[in-house]
Amino acid sequence: MLAAPFGVAKASESPRPVDPISVDSLPKMKGELTLYLGRGEGGLYEQILDAIKQRNPALRLKIRRGPSTALANTIVAESRFGKPRADVFWAIDASSLGMVVGTTEPEVVSKDLTALLKPEYRYERWLPISGRIRTLVYNSQRLQRSSLPSDVMALAQTDHSFGWAPAYGAFQSFVTAMRLIEGEDRTGSWLESMRERSVDFAGELGVVMATSRAEVDVGFANHYYTLRLRQGKPESPIDLAFTANDAGCLLNTSGVAILKPSTLAEDFVRHLLTVEVQSYLAREAFELPLLDGVENPDGLPSLSELQPPRVDLEKLGDLKPTLSLLRRTGVL
Amino acid sequence: MKSHSPTVVLSLVIGLVVLAPVAVLVSLASGAELDSSGQSWQLLFNTLAVTGLTVFGATLVGVPLAIATTHCDLPWRNFWLALLVAPLAIPSYIGGFTYFAAFGAGGELGEVFGFDLPEVRGLWGTALVMSLYTFPLILLTTRAALKQLDGSTVDAARSLGASSLFTLWHVVLPRVRSGVAAGALLTSLYAMSDFATPAILGLDTFTRVIYVEYNAFGLDRAALLSLQLLIVIGIVLWLESRVSTDREQAQRAFELPLSRPARWTALFVILAVLLAAIGMPILVFGIWLVREGGASVNPALVWNTTYPALIAAIATVVVGLPVAYAAARGGLGRWLERMVSVGYGIPGIVMGTALLYVGLRVDWFYQTLALLVVGHVLRFLPLAVGPLRNAIRQSDGNVIAAARGLGAGRFEAFRRVSFPMIFPAAVSGGALVFLEVMRELPLTLMLRPTGLETLTTELWQVYEAGYFGRAAVPGVLLIAISSVAVLLMLLGERRVQYGGAR
């Protein structure tokens, strides 16, 4: 069973160099707030929202759930017809936010909100909430971690078999990042040489499951699928490896855009950036906290050991050239 | 036959409303450019192949089961029927994922048995799984046609010494061909518009490419691809128009007696199908439930799932009636029926987007239950029209004419004479819509009022996040609701039939 988000975290648990705030310091919210929530995370986000509602009985929170891309398309359509409904959009990936922010141009986020985040996660018109990192998941009965290069581009020179999910948003963000870092040509030839030894799956959970069944040696997937599968089946022969400073360990984030600015909307977002919510997301959903002083989830190295590349996450929404490249190389 | 013209005018209007989303697609698609690659022919081949195989598989399962549960003296006939229709309430991604996870090396089922099972993937796997979750469409439409059959011809054949099997093949089946064809058409439209099953089992179809474009914010290209898919749908509708049968008036019901071994075989087949379509997902998700625990389900979800589906089912039957009447007259009416079938073949996400643009033009309509119901009516209209049209074609025109001659008005003749004759078809059509609305996801997510959560949206949430243990309870609840609904439908059908016979 799940623990209540606000019940477990103790303020004294970890040192906090940058002063993350606690829910206790926040004012009580009241009034009506419409939240468009990209994917529900199966009750985990639910627990957070329930806890927020419980602490703020005068808050009437209306939640519309859907896939992040569908909600992004909806928000764009609403703004085109001049009928915006959502106060806040909480999306699971930066590309949906980049798309919404690029088309609807919401107001600049106030400085005291962005200041809560680590400097590299501060954006002008939206706020990252939690991170997910690209990983190589490998079958530990088939190979050793040492046989995996620390450069994602060098994977093309190994003779492992791979599992990937080219139609899946997170994979497309990874290829977009590779395009931005390495350029079209290198990405194209990487895809071409990888293609022959890669098996397609519909989603990245499928990739991780196939790796644990030894259908493939190595899979491309966001980190939490492996952690969740291992939580259910601890005997699974899978482990995580990380490349360094390249698209292979891209750190993508979930995040929020405030579409109709108000004190209430800002207070709501501030709740998501408290130490309690952040450590709850890390503990229960295996998400990477983006504040100082909150521990990474179990099973992941600390963020200081990981070396994600510097990428403008808003540019990950530019998927058209990525799809063209994936098609041209026969991957999609 | 001047008296029927209002139905044609009305169904013309309905047809135009159904085509409104297509007009939105055309405007969304303007200016879109597709990467030309050699994949298009492969896509077309895959889409047609999986559609053809699914129709074949669903017919192979659906037609014999329709006969067994309608005319054979099986114990607990209605109980089996209620369970056999339940696969229609299981969302396609649940079915697809069940077979992905259960079979193949290291699959869940293999771990239970201790050895690996062959994998269910690709073209054959997709067709197999889709057949398991569409055969009730054929079962119900065939059953509606069987209910209308005149038992005297069957008795005549049997009194002349024909065996049950011979009678079935030469007397019964040729006369329910249009019922089977109606179900086959629905199955093929479903197979073309479904996204999750082929995506999970690794088959590239039109719909999968549409989803990829949509999810990459290429709304224009998704719309353009949908218009291409519409051409394929047009060809399938034309094929269906080649199948027709003579009308016939029902006199009395008939039974096909079964020998003891035949009865056991029938029960065995029913059990095997139920195990594959319902037992398997319950088993697989049950394994996860035991392994990682579940979570409580809000009981309000049961009601939230049921009432919008009920409203949509009734609305669809009401809207479908004039179309069915027009279609029963043939000619233009049949083409209007094909026109309203288009909605079932458009992938839900595309239909949802189109209706979103329609809804945004009318402020008080946007994000209301009314818009959601309209969306479901437009999408599922052919499910109700097919059985209704067949029933109307086969109902006795002389009796209606007599009622009118005795002074009954058009409405009274309909209420007291026509309606009881077509009621069983209205109920099966409505039941099909009810079950499809319950499992429908993309349209519901896009059009629902903010805050309306159903068992299906709950299932989607936990599934997307990979918490499969929590999918078990909502899944079982969906199956339970659908079985109860079908049992109620069978009871209502019996009452009207016996009431009408007095």
Comparing A137-141, A234-238, B382-386, B491-495, which segment has the lowest mean pLDDT? B491-495
Q: Which of B233, B225, B226 shows the shortest CA–CA distance to B188?
A: B233
Burial of B356 (0-12, 13-18, 19+ CB in 10 A): buried
> Which of B39, B115, B212 to mutate to test binding with chain A, by most A CBs within 10 Å of its CB?
B212
Q: Which of A85, A203, A319 sits opposite B217 (nearest CB)?
A: A319
Q: 3-state DSSP helix/strand/coil percent for chain B, to nearest 5?
A: 80, 0, 20
pLDDT score at A16: 41
Minimum distance, in Å, between the CA of residue A15 and any CA atom of chain B: 31
Please report residues of B whose CB lies closer than 8 A to that of A169.
Answer: 215-216
- Average pLDDT value for chain A: 88
Using left for φ > 0, alpha for ψ between -120 and 50, and beta otherwise, residue B407 falls in: left
Residues B230-239 have a mean pLDDT of: 87
Contact between residue A95 and residue A319 where contact means Cβ atoms under 8 Å apart? yes
Minimum distance, in Å, between the CA of residue A12 and any CA atom of chain B: 30
Contact between residue B457 and residue B363 where contact means Cβ atoms under 8 Å apart? no
- Average pLDDT value for chain B: 85
- Is there a contact between A324 and B100 if contact means CB atoms under 8 Å apart? no
Burial of B249 (0-12, 13-18, 19+ CB in 10 A): middle
User: Tokens 């990487």 map to which residue?
Assistant: A190
Q: What pLDDT band is residue A43 in, cutting at 50, 70 and 90?
A: low
Please report residues of A whose CB lies closer than 8 A to that of B357.
Answer: 77
Please report residues of A whose CB lies closer than 8 A to that of B363.
Answer: 83
pTM of the model: 0.87
- Is there a contact between B200 and A212 if contact means CB atoms under 8 Å apart? no
A173-223 pLDDT per residue, tens: 999 999 999 999 999 999 999 999 999 988 898 899 999 999 999 999 999
Query: What residues are paired with A222 via a beta bridge?
Result: A134
- Is there a contact between B217 and A205 if contact means CB atoms under 8 Å apart? no
Ranges of beta strands (E only) in B279-391 are: none
Minimum distance, in Å, between the CA of residue B426 and any CA atom of chain A: 33
Please report residues of A whose CB lies closer than 8 A to that of B215.
Answer: 67, 69, 167, 169
B93-119 pLDDT per residue, tens: 889 989 988 888 778 888 778 777 888
- Is there a contact between A202 and B467 if contact means CB atoms under 8 Å apart? no
Minimum distance, in Å, between the CA of residue B260 and any CA atom of chain A: 45
Residues B360-368 have a mean pLDDT of: 90
Which residues contact residue B353 at a Cβ distance below 8 angstroms, ignoring those fewer than 6 apart? A73, A77, B24, B28, B214, B219, B222, B223, B446
- Pairing status of strand A251-258 against strand A127-139: antiparallel
**Rounded CA gap, B442 and B379, in Å?**
12
Local structure of A250: helix, strand or coil:
coil
- Is there a contact between A43 and B101 if contact means CB atoms under 8 Å apart? no
pLDDT score at B501: 40
Q: Which of B100, B212, B462 sits opposite A167 (nearest CB)?
A: B212
User: Tokens 């017809």 map to which residue?
Assistant: A81
Q: What is the CA radius of gyration of chain B?
A: 23
A59-81 pLDDT per residue, tens: 999 999 998 888 999 999 999 99
B45-94 pLDDT per residue, tens: 999 999 999 999 999 999 999 988 888 888 888 889 989 998 988 888 88
Q: What is the CA radius of gyration of chain A?
A: 20
> Which of A65, A78, A224, A230 to mutate to test binding with chain B, by most B CBs within 10 Å of its CB?
A65
Amino acid identity for residue B109 in this structure: L
- Is there a contact between B208 and A209 if contact means CB atoms under 8 Å apart? no
Please report residues of A whose CB lies closer than 8 A to that of B105.
Answer: 213-215
Instruction: Look up the ipTM and state it.
Output: 0.85
User: Tokens 């060098």 map to which residue?
Assistant: A154
Minimal Cα distance from A82: which residue of B? B360
B369-421 pLDDT per residue, tens: 999 999 999 999 999 998 888 788 877 677 788 888 888 888 888 888 888 88
Q: Which of B106, B199, B356 sits opposite A213 (nearest CB)?
A: B106
Q: What φ, ψ does residue A36 adopt, rounded to 5°?
A: -95, 115
User: Tokens 């009207």 map to which residue?
Assistant: B496
**Cα dihedral A79, A81, A84, A85 in deg (nearest 10):** -130
Contact between residue B243 and residue B173 where contact means Cβ atoms under 8 Å apart? no
